[in-house]
Structure 1
Amino acid sequence: MTVDVDPTTQANYTSIASEHVHFDWTIDWAKQVISGSVTHTLTVREDGVDELVLDALALDVHKAFVETRGQGQSDNFTLGPSHPVMGAALHVPLPSGLKVGNTVKSTIHYSTTKDCMALQWLDKEQTQGKTFPYLFSQCQPIYARSLAPLQDTPSVKIVHLLRERSSTIPVLLSAIRASPPSDGPAHDGKVIGKDVVTYTYNQAMCYRVPRSRQSGAGVAEPEFVDAAYWEFGDAINNFMLKAETVLPPYRFGVYDVLVLPPSFPYGGMENACLTFLTPTLLVGDRSLVDVVVHELSHSWFGNGVTQAHSTHFWLNEGWTTWMERLILQLLHGPAERGFNYLIGYKSLKDDLELYKDRPKARTRMTRTAKSHWMGLQNRLWAGWMFLPYSITTAEWKSHYKIKALDSIDWDGWLYGEGTELPVKMQYDVTLAEQSASAPTRSVCRFPSMTGLLANARPICIVVFLERLHSYPALPATHVTLLGSLYKFSTTTNAEIRLRFYESSAAKTLAPEAAKWVTGEDGTGVVKGRMKDVSKVDRDLARLIEKDLGLA
């Protein structure tokens, strides 16, 4: 039987695999370096394995040693040539005679470098409060290897412990804090920026029901913290309760959200125990809190059941998006779920068109197409039994043993081409029809219909504006008035604001859009989210090229 090995790692995880990883770190804020050690507790999977191979990218490795059966082994390692994408392979010799099931410990002392792709160091001027520096990590898809020598593949699931020594700034990790107490004063009551505190965290991926589960509101810079608690507090608890009515119990002990500084480039990131969020979700009316539903769903699909490697990435995003929309149905009704599928399908077709011209562009195809497939299969069968494993598409498919699924065109869904799905999906179109007809009515009676969108959900307004873009261009004066009537030009909802700035009056609105992105619109909040910045910057660049006669 051929093993489906992760093509993005050089680690020999099929021969020997990490079970527990202990990080012992010191953060040097002045040099912007993390130094210390990582200790792997490994289980032998293949008789006679004679070396441990780890992924290492842009790391300074100082020494490495192996301990087995209580015996220490001298420092000995080799760092191979650096691959332009995967980095270098760190080879650590192992004692001879190892058998399947044996346990081995290996400790590597190292430090990160300025080329670490997993870490984003922010000077205090780059934060909202401009008082202290800030550091956050982004290890997906294969950047964890630049943070520590690891078997950097989702095929290996680990329990980890982190001890961060000598920190003068609070440390928050996607794990459960062991010390100082998480319910105690910030920074253990010491002076932030001056006094040293040692932080210890445990991430026990305990695939059993914990004694208690906490879902928190929001953690953020002081300038955002009150807004984060107000925006997400009740919503997160409600999301968790709804999710557990259709899913196995949440198994990571705690669930919190961290609102990062404005330079965080994503809408959200599903780190276990601690979802990262963009501050553009702090709207003030809770109209964007549903974004958390997607990240929460990753607790089961992605963090619970995991793709074996990125060739099977659709397993993470397809199942998560399907579950996200099921939870939205529980929260808001079937029309909301159907509406999100229709919006997703439009995004899928748009991305396929984009992909033709820009094959390396970041798109939502994997997430969207396979979520429709999940919707189809759920109507036929709604079970999964893979917790807590990393699985491949073949393993997932082989689990389906019931006759009702024999009619599925597996090849069409897995390998099909074109912009049409193999099956014509039927969804509740109530909200879609209302939103689609609104532009026609507004254009016919504009500008007298001031109440047209007064009580519409934000998602409907987004579709309204996207639909309006498909009509012949309105005069800039009309678009400006539209923005004033419906407050599109002043709304704190970034999704609405972005669609408004993409209108036919983009050239007229470009200076206003630029102020919005840079925080010079009176809010003082820079829009660092990749989607907002790239769209506005791209439109501005086109306008500048045209003005300079370059386009």
Structure 2
Amino acid sequence: MRRYRSMSRLLLLSSIVVSGMTLSATVQAEDQHSFAELDRVSTPHLELDLTVNFAEKQLEGTATYNVSRHADADELVLDTSDLTIHKTELWLNDKWQETPFTLAEPHETLGQKLTIQVGDSSEKVRIHYETAPTASGLQWLTPEQTAGKKHPFMFSQSQPIHARSWIPIQDTPALRLTYDATIRTPDQLRAVMSADNALTAERSDAYELSMPQPIPPYLIAIAVGDLEVKSISDKVAVFAESYIIDDAAWEWADTPKMIEVTEAMYGPYRWDRYDLLVLPPSFPFGGMENPRLSFITPTVVSGDRSLINLIAHELAHSWSGNLVTNASWRDLWINEGFTSYVENRIMEAIFGKRRAQMELALGYQDLLGDLETLAPADTVMNIDLGTRHPDDVFSQIPYVKGQLFLVYLEEKFGRDVFDAFLRDYFDAFAFQSISTEQFKNYLQQNLLAQNPGVVSMEKVDEWIHGEGLPEDAPRPTSDAFEQVEKQMMVWLKGGQLQTTEWTTHEWLHFINNLPLDISAVNLARLDREYALTTSDNAEIAHAWLKLSIIKKYEPARERLRSYLLSIGRNKLVAPLYRELARTPDNLKWAREVYQEARSGYHPLTQSVNEAILYQEGDE
């Protein structure tokens, strides 16, 4: 594998007007994953004009940037991946004039460096381009792969460095930019973006959208499909295919209340609206926090509101991640650790301490699993990615270890003091991208120094730069799970479970902690009594199907097949393929199922699961 180019230092100086405020931000970050040279020329505003071509699986059109110079520079450097660049132009003397560009040889991870000659006076540059059908940040679904079966569907997933596969862009989270877009589509379909989407039912062949708040490039998002819209409140609506829109609106009815409690704790919601888009089942993640329009998997529409913590997580990103952003991907914990902490506080405020503690304990169990399998260097929060793709950093370390670090600070300083610190932190860095060092400096000045003798900077460094967990780290447990385990013992001896009040979390704890020597008779009894093989709850079904693979419980095999064919969320399918790959017969069967399912999987899901099912040299 070729090594990355030399690490570039990015310096972004910007003055941005947001909601009547002028924000001056200085961000210094080392980003190994972008060719951009923000300290020389940056792009604070983007105008997109794109046509959605379903027949060719392409976006084609233009990206126009405002150019901001910070040094004596006459070149604009952008990131691209598998884009065809037709021509580049400058706005000079009140007209567009063609200007030279060069597209470097492809880098296996970073894509291609696009360098445009912008001179010393032009304030705008326009790129004419088209995407490849294989763009890593886009998925194109045929009508047959959608619920309605009549119209195609397309959606993006730009995080972490996939925006460059559908927009030529300075693809680093150190950049913040606003954007306007014209999206031209078949007139039966609706286009939505991480922008100010119209709530009218009318369809058009062109949509005008705008994102007035400055965001990092990975939060630029688009989806086009046969979408309906249903309002939950005056600030919240759901976009979805018709088959699921009513269920999703009912499932997420508590979202407005979530916004209210988060504002009370951490300050105003600054994005005007918070809407939710239900994507097809092939969406590879639980959710994506695209501002104004979170993208959500349909697998959390469970029918009992038991998985709404995922909505709490994506909403929490409106403060931690979208408002205050990691400046590079080695700082991911600044996004996800804070968001996991805020998510749990939202759940506690609305559903009580017991449920929040269960979810915290489940996250801790997941973290322990990663700590057992990850290389020690990969258990560092401020991780050194080296030559790897930033996708590789998405473990429980930035999420749960980062969350436990904040729980630790809360316990040491007290909730009132720590909440006040967090609220000030979100205000101080609003609409900015920051590094770990910037956070540490702010923490030292505004919490540690204000409360001497409570937590040392050495302890902070142990959390952020050390491997594993500190010895005095919080180790969350749940009394509810202890009660589940007591019931398990009763059931294994022939008794009955009392599950009327159980949440999804209790069922997961029960299934995941069943003894591995459980008999085939007891498995069949459990399935007969609680219909786990046919469960409509995707999380419970996942846990049960994984157990069925381990225990060779054949009555679940057909459901396992249909599950893998109908769901593309990596968290749910990859562990099942991994378990199947442990034996030759199951591996052969899994490959057959995968080949049937592959066309409906997102490119990210394909790459993850092909690495599991096909070792080097395999056909």
Pick the TM interval, shorter chain: 0.7 to 0.9
Cα gap change, 1:115/1:424 in structure 2, threshold over 3 Å: closer, same or farther?
closer
Within the candidate set 490, 499, 521, 1:441 is matched to: 490
Name the counterpart of 1:52: 76
Distance 2:586 2:251 in 1: 41
Within the candidate set 452, 464, 467, 2:513 is matched to: 467
Structure 2 residue 459 is matched with structure 1 residue 414: no
Structure 2 residue 294 is matched with structure 1 residue 278: no
Cα gap change, 1:64/1:160 in structure 2, threshold over 3 Å: closer, same or farther?
same
TM-score for both structures, normalised by structure 2: 0.78
Name the counterpart of 1:194: none
- Note if contact 1:160-1:203 (Cα within 8 Å) is conserved in structure 2: yes
Q: Tell me, what secondary structure is at the counterpart of 2:533?
A: coil
Distance 1:214 1:198 in 2: 25
Residues 447-477 of structure 1 deviation map (CA, whole Å, 9 limit, x = unaligned): x214x22221221121122222xx3511112
One-letter code of the match for 1:397?
K
Name the counterpart of 2:601: none
Comparing 541-550 with 380-389, greater Cα deviation is found at 541-550
Structure 2 residue 404 is matched with structure 1 residue 369: no
Q: Tell me, what secondary structure is at the counterpart of 1:18?
A: strand
One-letter code of the match for 1:366?
P
Residues 494-550 of structure 1 deviation map (CA, whole Å, 9 limit, x = unaligned): 111211223267444356254255259xxxx81221122222233334355369899
Residues 327-365 of structure 1 deviation map (CA, whole Å, 9 limit, x = unaligned): 111012222222222221111110122324997695222
Q: Tell me, what secondary structure is at the counterpart of 1:121?
A: strand
C-alpha RMSD over aligned residues: 2.7
Within the candidate set 190, 199, 202, 1:183 is matched to: 199
Distance 2:320 2:482 in 1: 32
Comparing 332-341 with 243-252, greater Cα deviation is found at 332-341
Question: Which runs of structure 2 are paired with 1:469-508 in the superposition (5 Å)?
Answer: 471-503=515-547, 506-508=550-552
One-letter code of the match for 1:492?
D
One-letter code of the match for 2:75?
E
Cα gap change, 1:129/1:391 in structure 2, threshold over 3 Å: closer, same or farther?
same
Distance 2:119 2:164 in 1: 25
Distance 2:236 2:128 in 1: 35
One-letter code of the match for 2:442?
H
Structure 2 residue 446 is matched with structure 1 residue 399: no
- Note if contact 2:140-2:155 (Cα within 8 Å) is conserved in structure 1: yes
Name the counterpart of 2:609: none
One-letter code of the match for 2:201?
P
- Note if contact 1:51-1:91 (Cα within 8 Å) is conserved in structure 2: yes
One-letter code of the match for 1:421?
P
Q: Tell me, what secondary structure is at the counterpart of 1:372?
A: helix
Question: Which runs of structure 2 are paired with 1:426-437 in the superposition (5 Å)?
Answer: 427=476, 429-437=478-486
One-letter code of the match for 1:291?
L
Question: Which runs of structure 2 are paired with 1:494-533 in the superposition (5 Å)?
Answer: 494-503=538-547, 506-510=550-554, 512-516=556-560, 518=562, 526-533=566-573
One-letter code of the match for 2:465?
Y
Distance 1:108 1:278 in 2: 33
One-letter code of the match for 2:203?
H
Q: Tell me, what secondary structure is at the counterpart of 2:126?
A: strand
Cα gap change, 1:501/1:399 in structure 2, threshold over 3 Å: closer, same or farther?
same
Cα gap change, 1:508/1:309 in structure 2, threshold over 3 Å: closer, same or farther?
same
- Note if contact 1:215-1:236 (Cα within 8 Å) is conserved in structure 2: no
Structure 2 residue 35 is matched with structure 1 residue 10: yes
Q: Tell me, what secondary structure is at the counterpart of 2:484?
A: helix
Name the counterpart of 1:193: none
Question: Which runs of structure 2 are paired with 1:156-167 in the superposition (5 Å)?
Answer: 156-167=175-186
Deviation at 1:17, TM superposition (A): 1.2
Q: Tell me, what secondary structure is at the counterpart of 1:424?
A: coil
Residues 244-273 of structure 1 deviation map (CA, whole Å, 9 limit, x = unaligned): 121221111111111111111211111111
Question: Which runs of structure 2 are paired with 1:253-264 in the superposition (5 Å)?
Answer: 253-264=272-283
Distance 2:54 2:481 in 1: 50
Distance 2:328 2:255 in 1: 29
Name the counterpart of 2:241: 221
Question: Which runs of structure 2 are paired with 1:117-132 in the superposition (5 Å)?
Answer: 117-132=136-151
Distance 1:514 1:161 in 2: 47
Which consecutive unaligned segments of at least 5 residues does structure 2 have? Answer: 1-8, 10-27, 216-232, 379-391, 590-612, 614-619
Distance 1:513 1:256 in 2: 37
Distance 2:98 2:329 in 1: 36
Distance 1:90 1:493 in 2: 46
One-letter code of the match for 1:518?
S
Comparing 335-344 with 64-73, greater Cα deviation is found at 64-73
Distance 2:580 2:82 in 1: 35
Question: Which runs of structure 2 are paired with 1:193-204 in the superposition (5 Å)?
Answer: 197-204=205-212
Distance 1:505 1:164 in 2: 45
Comparing 380-389 with 155-164, greater Cα deviation is found at 380-389
Distance 2:57 2:33 in 1: 27
Identity of aligned residues (%): 30
- Note if contact 1:51-1:93 (Cα within 8 Å) is conserved in structure 2: yes
Cα gap change, 1:391/1:361 in structure 2, threshold over 3 Å: closer, same or farther?
closer
Cα gap change, 1:426/1:69 in structure 2, threshold over 3 Å: closer, same or farther?
farther
Name the counterpart of 1:354: 373
Distance 2:66 2:39 in 1: 15
One-letter code of the match for 1:410?
V
Structure 2 residue 115 is matched with structure 1 residue 91: yes
Q: Tell me, what secondary structure is at the counterpart of 2:39?
A: coil
Distance 1:546 1:287 in 2: 32
Q: Tell me, what secondary structure is at the counterpart of 2:566?
A: coil
Q: Tell me, what secondary structure is at the counterpart of 2:406?
A: helix
Distance 1:357 1:484 in 2: 43
- Note if contact 2:580-2:587 (Cα within 8 Å) is conserved in structure 1: no
Residues 64-123 of structure 1 deviation map (CA, whole Å, 9 limit, x = unaligned): 122367575432111112111111111111223x6xxxx721111111112311110111
Deviation at 1:171, TM superposition (A): 0.8
- Note if contact 1:19-1:42 (Cα within 8 Å) is conserved in structure 2: yes
Higher helix share: 2
One-letter code of the match for 1:260?
L
Distance 1:69 1:45 in 2: 22
Structure 2 residue 499 is matched with structure 1 residue 453: yes
Distance 1:108 1:497 in 2: 47
- Note if contact 2:105-2:112 (Cα within 8 Å) is conserved in structure 1: yes
Cα gap change, 1:187/1:298 in structure 2, threshold over 3 Å: closer, same or farther?
same
Q: Tell me, what secondary structure is at the counterpart of 1:132?
A: coil
Cα gap change, 1:53/1:200 in structure 2, threshold over 3 Å: closer, same or farther?
same
Structure 2 residue 54 is matched with structure 1 residue 29: yes
Residues 40-82 of structure 1 deviation map (CA, whole Å, 9 limit, x = unaligned): 0122122x11211111111110111223675754321111121
| Count of residues in correspondence between the two structures | 515
Which consecutive unaligned segments of at least 5 residues does structure 1 have? Answer: 189-196, 208-212
- Note if contact 1:173-1:274 (Cα within 8 Å) is conserved in structure 2: yes
Name the counterpart of 1:135: 154
One-letter code of the match for 1:442?
W
